[in-house]
């Protein structure tokens, strides 16, 4: 399968095959659970729109600072924006812009939900939009790299200390928090939390290993 490419608000967007693979895995589990077709379609569409809004938040903030934006990519781990390097304060704002865009979309959906027509389909769409945009945005603000919260913590610390020191502290926090989430996920049989926590702990450990010795 080839990547899908289009342009949105002046940004080139690339949807890689792995992103469709991620949706396909969800569809298989949902079919096994015998969820209604409209629930499958709703979740896949909401995930696509929500990730795109999240990445647009990053891209628009980078453009606001007149940084080069090479494009938006959606892939198996979500998405990312490739842009030019700005100041530490700009990096902090760009990191936070993605989750805040998701929270803003979730807030709009929550505000208009009482005025939407009732029914199971609309309730499913609204529930998916609230969960993905508010729930995931809050989770994404946790101080664990490569989540936006971890990148924001590193940038915030770098406002006061050298970047290497800031990275060391941010990665240490991310490694400990990720390990804690992995233990929590294992204890309560939450596979997603176990996976994200373990992956983040490992990735932050790798960041620490790549830093120069003191």
Which DSSP string corresponds to 80-133?
EEEE----HHHHHHHHHHHHHHHHHHHHHHHHHGGGSPPSHHHHHHHHHHHIII
Specify burial of residue 41 (Cβ count, 10 A radius: 0-12, 13-18, 19+). middle
CA distance linking residue 138 with residue 85, whole number of Å: 25
Q: Catalytic site residue 7?
A: no
**For residue 78, what are the β-bridge partners?**
75
Cβ neighbours of residue 150 closer than 8 Å, sequence gap 6 or more: 142, 143, 144, 170, 171, 173, 174, 200, 204
Residue tagged active-site, from 15, 47, 51, 55: 55
* Alpha carbon 144 to chain centroid, angstroms: 12
CB 9 within 8 A of CB 19: no
Question: Do β-strands 69-75 and 78-83 pair in parallel, antiparallel, or remain unpaired?
Answer: antiparallel
Looking at the annotation, which residues are catalytic?
55
């Amino acid at each position: 399968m080839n990547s899908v490419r289009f342009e949105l608000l002046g940004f080139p967007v690339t949807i890689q095959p792995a992103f469709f693979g991620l949706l396909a895995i969800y569809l298989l589990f949902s079919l096994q659970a015998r969820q209604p077709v409209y629930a499958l379609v709703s979740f896949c569409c909401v995930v696509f729109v929500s990730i795109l809004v999240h990445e647009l938040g990053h891209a628009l903030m980078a453009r606001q600072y007149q940084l080069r934006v090479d494009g938006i990519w959606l892939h198996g781990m979500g998405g990312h924006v490739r842009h030019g390097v700005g100041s530490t304060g700009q990096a902090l704002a760009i990191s936070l812009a993605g989750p805040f865009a998701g929270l803003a979309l979730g807030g709009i959906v929550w505000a208009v939900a009482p005025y939407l027509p009732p029914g199971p389909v609309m309730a499913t769409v609204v529930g998916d939009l609230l969960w993905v945009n508010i729930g995931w945005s809050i989770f994404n603000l946790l101080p664990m790299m490569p989540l936006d919260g971890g990148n924001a913590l590193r940038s915030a610390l770098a406002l006061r200390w050298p970047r290497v020191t800031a990275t060391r502290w941010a990665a240490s926090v991310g490694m400990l928090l990720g390990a804690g989430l992995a233990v929590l996920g294992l204890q309560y049989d939450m596979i997603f939390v176990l996976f994200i926590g373990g992956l983040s702990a490992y990735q932050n450990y790798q960041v620490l290993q790549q830093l120069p010795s003191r």
